[in-house]
Amino acid sequence: MPDNSKKIVIIDYGMGNLRSIFNKFRRMGFVSEISSDPDIIKNADKLILPGVGHFAKGKENLDERGIINILNYKVLSEKTPIFGICLGMQLFSECSEEGDCKGLGWIKAKTVRFRIKDKTKYKIPHIGWNTVNIVNRVGIDDFLTDDDYFYFVHSYYVQCNDTADVWMTSWYESEFTSAIKKGNIFGTQFHPEKSHDAGFKLLKKFIEL
């Protein structure tokens, strides 16, 4: 049976796909809570920052809901494990070309738009299934192989300054960072909640850390 003594909070900042992650945890047997309440976030053992949409709007929503300070405290001071998904991961970076906006700055990186040359073969946004190459294994990925596929929907990706922060890469005309990891900070550009067994196991191992 899953260990439900850990409090899992899915952060609600109005940027979508919260229910699919909540339902994924429920199917795994984990109890989670969707919230934007700083007091609830403060008591979390594990944090999930999902998101789809515009970077600047996501940062604005975090600010307007008063979530940034408690996130900085939890992640940077308490070292609470956090998992960012898609836009959630991008917000970990220092800034983005999308809206020319500053991010949370937890990772020395910039969120940039794909520069595609062959626009007939490689459409933007990048939508669909793709494999990953694990650059720096972090423990919760010990089951993954080069044959595992994950689901992507994005036009931007995170470009890290330090290769040590690159967890996984993928290929879409050229190599791009598809997952990052720094200490207690995890992030994937792909959607593990939509990626069948491989995504299921990755989220499960994160919660069981």
46: left (phi over 0), alpha (psi -120 to 50) or beta: beta
Q: Which residues on adjacent β-strands are paired with residue 34?
A: 10
Which SS3 state, helix, strand or coil, does residue 196 take?
helix
Residue with tokens 């047997």: 29
Annotated active-site positions, please? 86, 191, 193
Element (H, E) at 113: strand 109-113
Helical packing angle, 196-207 and 18-28, nearest 10°: 80
